[in-house]
Chains A and B, each alone.
With several copies, the nearest count.
Chain A
Amino acid sequence: MSVRIKCFASLRQRLGIGQTELAHRRGMTIGDAWRALSEEPPPENLLCARNLEYADLQQAVEDGDEIAFFPPVTGG
């Protein structure tokens, strides 16, 4: 029963977390996963993904999911 967490770019450096695992709990949301990583409130411009698709903090997390947190993208 676990959830894989990934962080990228400035957020990865600030949290000091590239990849980690969290225990999955019933009713868990992406916001709950954030709170398990950091005592700070989620940054205003925080982006989240669930299983490689954009998601938001209210969205439910299923066992085995991959959840990612990252700042605004700057490719191209």
Chain B
Amino acid sequence: MKVEIRARAFAPWEELAEHQAHLPPGSYGACAAFVGSMRDFNEGERVTAMTLEHYAGMTERQLRQLTGDAARRHGLLDALVVHRVGALQPNEPIVLVAAWSAHRAAAFAACAEIMESLKSRATFWKKESTPGGERWVEKNTPGANIE
């Protein structure tokens, strides 16, 4: 299980492939993954840049807890979480979550659950730059319910 905070742009699918290459071949039958990236448009306004603030120390701790909880609950073989902080440009990845398991139900459920827990508990805050100035994002969009 790996959880990382990144201060620079990252290539999520390459990170995922690289991480997966270290898993025992033939052990997993399913990998569910999610990548959230920066849109250039939000709540009716053009977004030209974004800053992601976080609570260093608490963020890593919360991410490890919530990822570990989901991994145990769903019997995952492995999980990977990478989250960006700092100054972002449109189209840059914000978060990568991946979950490996024997069969698909656990991978899907765990990946979605990690994303929802991350959105509600991990100590990150987005500030958007728009033509009208800077604004803190006040709340997240609704997520998915996976059973």
Contact = CB atoms under 8 A, between A and B. Distances in A.
Judged by DSSP, the binding face of B is: mixed
Interface residues of B, number: 29
B119 A76 contact: yes
B138 A72 contact: yes
Interface in B47-61: 52-55, 57-58, 61
Interface in B92-146: 94-95, 104, 115, 118-127, 136-140
A2 interface: no
Contacts of B52: 75
Contact of B126 (A54, A68, A70, A75): A75
A76 B115 contact: yes
Contacts of B137: 74
B99 to A, nearest CB: 15
Counting chain A residues whose Cβ lies within 8 A of the other chain, the interface size class is 10 to 19
Contact of B55 (A10, A70, A74): A70
5 contacts: A52-B62, A74-B138, A74-B140, A75-B54, A76-B115
Interface of B: 36, 52-55, 57-58, 61-62, 83, 94-95, 104, 115, 118-127, 136-140
